[in-house]
């Protein structure tokens, strides 16, 4: 049985935990848990203790169902913490053949050339264009003959202090961290198909308090941004406009929220401060409030897409996911705001097991984290540990295997080698200690004999 995968999505409205096993080429979910997010506001942690408590609750529910839990987790980080830059690297190929070591070298060179502020830490180094001897847009340079290799990368960094607070909240819940993944990147992994990746696409994850946007063009992400607006803002707007408690406003949003033609029907709702007293409001007011907030949000995101200068490279259009996309009519409104670009409402890839609720747009990020842990990352990506992730086998020739660098290899042979080395060290130390003991005894006798001769 394969080692279980553990994914933790720390969102502003909920914390999702999913435990799964990788079976052949599929992910089999064996446990899940969801808790109301506390101590997180607009994507940033505001109270570590409350966040830890929410993580523990969701983790406990998932563990109870699965009967097991992994010791390390892949966790999400909000785009609120991040800053992105582009960088490139060039290396010569003395052996005239490109292997993993050469690709790793050019990727590390691009990272070295990047101007990363001291207060930021690397999350992802994503190659979107390889160039082999002046030939651009090489999909995969592995195994090619060349004298020079170049790469253009998109580097995503996070504030060290914020990243440290996030890790502290997870570790306080009793879980070690295997990797940290940008939330928007994880969502893109779970909802995109191969055609969309090849044609270029913009993915927008519209959550409770945030919207995460990533533009995938070429071989990987080229642009990412963050907006601190989500479906909870619609609830707040309704509460203020209708003068009703937040939980009533949330229920109205879920039951009557629509972006299609407004209705003139009347409904009775309680008043803030005196829930026994009801007053009538028109559903047209509900429509106008929701329409204004969603339209404003989509227009800001459309401007961000224009700023990326990649609008012409997204032939597959816009892919919307996240809980906010369950609003009726949001696809049609998005098409109008994005100048009639193709728009699709996406769900995560279907998973095996009796966990159908996870096939909801609201769980796109946590399911993407699982796929990342199962190998769904960008080819030749440098992760948050500054190790290059890849799934290539070493190049072999008639003379044998070429030397390669494989940062992800942690097999049984390595463990056996370490064990043998540890045994050798133990034996050597024991022998030295015995020799030192005998030498010390002889020296003490000589010293005593010398002292008696003097006195």
pLDDT tens digits for range 98-149 = 999 999 999 999 999 999 999 999 999 999 999 999 898 899 999 999 999 9
pLDDT at 442 over 60: no
Give all strands of the β-sheet with 72-77 in edge-to-edge order.
Answer: 26-36, 14-23, 5-10, 72-77, 176-182
For 211-225, what is the mean pLDDT? 92
Report the C-alpha gap between 184 and 204 in whole angstroms.
8
Q: What is the pLDDT of residue 401?
A: 41
Task: Quote the DSSP letter at residue 312.
Answer: G
User: Residue 267 in contact with residue 280, Cβ under 8 Å?
Assistant: yes
In the numeric block, the tokens 């809980």 are attached to: 323
Q: How many helices (H) and strands (E) are present in the chain, helices listed first? A: 11, 22
Distances from the Cα of 388 to the Cα of 62, 100, 142, angstroms: 31, 9, 14
pLDDT band at 453 (very low <50, low <70, confident <90, very high): very low
In the numeric block, the tokens 């409104």 are attached to: 333
User: Residue 34 in contact with residue 58, Cβ under 8 Å?
Assistant: yes
Report the C-alpha gap between 55 and 14 in whole angstroms.
10
For 424-438, what is the mean pLDDT? 47
Q: What is the pLDDT of residue 279?
A: 86
Q: What is the pLDDT of residue 413?
A: 38
By DSSP bridging, strand 318-321 and strand 201-206 are parallel
Q: What is the pLDDT of residue 398?
A: 42
Stronger pLDDT, 349 or 439, i.e. the higher one: 349
pLDDT band at 437 (very low <50, low <70, confident <90, very high): very low
Distances from the Cα of 190 to the Cα of 76, 93, 193, 370, 436, angstroms: 13, 36, 9, 9, 62
Phi-psi region of 325 (alpha: psi -120 to 50; beta: other; left: phi over 0): alpha
pLDDT band at 393 (very low <50, low <70, confident <90, very high): low
In terms of Cβ atoms closer than 10 Å to its own Cβ (0-12, 13-18, 19+), residue 17 is: buried
- Residue range 24-55, pLDDT digits in tens: 778 889 999 999 999 998 888 999 999 999 99
For 77-99, what is the mean pLDDT? 94
Q: Where are the alpha helices (DSSP H) in 100-155?
A: 100-113
For 346-370, what is the mean pLDDT? 87
Number of neighbours of residue 168 by Cβ within 10 angstroms:
14
Q: What is the pLDDT of residue 24?
A: 77
pTM of the prediction? 0.83
By DSSP bridging, strand 82-92 and strand 135-138 are unpaired
Q: What is the pLDDT of residue 411?
A: 40
Task: Quote the DSSP letter at residue 325.
Answer: G
Q: First vs last Cα of the chain: how many Å apart?
A: 76
Report the C-alpha gap between 63 and 143 in whole angstroms.
43
- Worst-scoring range by mean pLDDT, 23-37, 148-162, 258-272, 404-418? 404-418
pLDDT at 434 over 60: no
Mean pLDDT of the chain: 86
Q: What is the DSSP string of 22-72?
A: EETTEEEEEEEEEEE--SEETTEES-HHHHHHHHHHHHHHHHHHHS---SE
Three-point CA angle 448, 451, 455, nearest 5° = 140
- Residue range 260-287, pLDDT digits in tens: 888 888 999 998 887 778 889 999 999 9
């Amino acid at each position: 049985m394969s080692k279980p995968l553990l994914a933790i999505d720390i969102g502003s409205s909920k914390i999702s935990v999913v435990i799964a096993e990788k079976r052949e080429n599929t992910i089999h979910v064996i446990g899940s848990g969801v808790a109301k997010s506390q101590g997180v506001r607009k994507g940033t942690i505001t109270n570590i203790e409350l966040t830890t408590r929410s993580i523990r609750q969701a983790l406990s529910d998932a563990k109870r169902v699965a009967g097991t839990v992994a010791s390390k987790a892949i966790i999400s980080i909000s785009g609120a913490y991040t800053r992105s830059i582009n960088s490139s690297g060039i290396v010569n190929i003395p052996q005239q053949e490109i292997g993993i070591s050469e690709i790793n070298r050019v990727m590390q060179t691009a990272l070295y050339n990047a101007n990363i502020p001291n207060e930021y830490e690397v999350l992802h180094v994503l190659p979107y264009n390889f160039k082999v001897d002046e030939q651009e847009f090489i999909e995969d340079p592995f195994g090619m003959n060349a004298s020079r290799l170049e790469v253009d990368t998109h580097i995503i960094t996070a504030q060290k202090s914020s990243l440290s607070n996030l890790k502290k909240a997870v570790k306080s819940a009793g879980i070690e961290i295997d990797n940290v993944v940008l939330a928007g990147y994880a969502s893109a992994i779970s909802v995109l198909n191969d055609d969309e990746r090849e044609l270029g696409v913009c993915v927008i994850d519209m959550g409770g308090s945030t919207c995460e946007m990533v533009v995938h063009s070429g071989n990987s992400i080229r642009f990412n941004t963050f907006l601190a607006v989500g479906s909870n803002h619609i609830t707040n707007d309704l509460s203020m406009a209708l003068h009703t408690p937040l939980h009533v406003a949330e229920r109205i949003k879920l039951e009557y929220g629509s972006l299609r033609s407004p209705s003139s029907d009347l409904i009775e709702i309680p008043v803030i401060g005196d829930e026994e007293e009801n007053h009538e409001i028109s559903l047209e007011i509900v429509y106008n409030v929701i329409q204004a907030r969603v339209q404003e949000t989509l227009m800001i995101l459309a401007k961000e897409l224009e700023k990326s200068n990649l609008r012409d490279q997204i032939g597959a259009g816009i892919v919307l996911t996240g809980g906010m996309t369950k609003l009726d009519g949001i696809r049609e409104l998005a098409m109008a705001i994005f100048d009639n670009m193709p728009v699709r409402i996406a769900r995560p890839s279907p998973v095996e097991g009796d966990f159908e609720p996870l096939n909801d747009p609201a769980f796109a990020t946590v399911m993407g984290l699982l796929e990342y842990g199962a190998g769904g990352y960008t080819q030749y990506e440098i992760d948050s540990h500054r190790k290059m992730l890849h799934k290539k086998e070493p190049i072999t020739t008639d003379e044998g295997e070429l030397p390669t660098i494989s940062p992800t290899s942690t097999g049984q042979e390595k463990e056996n080698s370490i064990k043998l080395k540890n045994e050798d060290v133990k034996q050597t130390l024991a022998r030295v200690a015995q020799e030192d003991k005998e030498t010390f005894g002889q020296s003490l006798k000589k010293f005593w004999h010398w002292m008696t001769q003097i006195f």
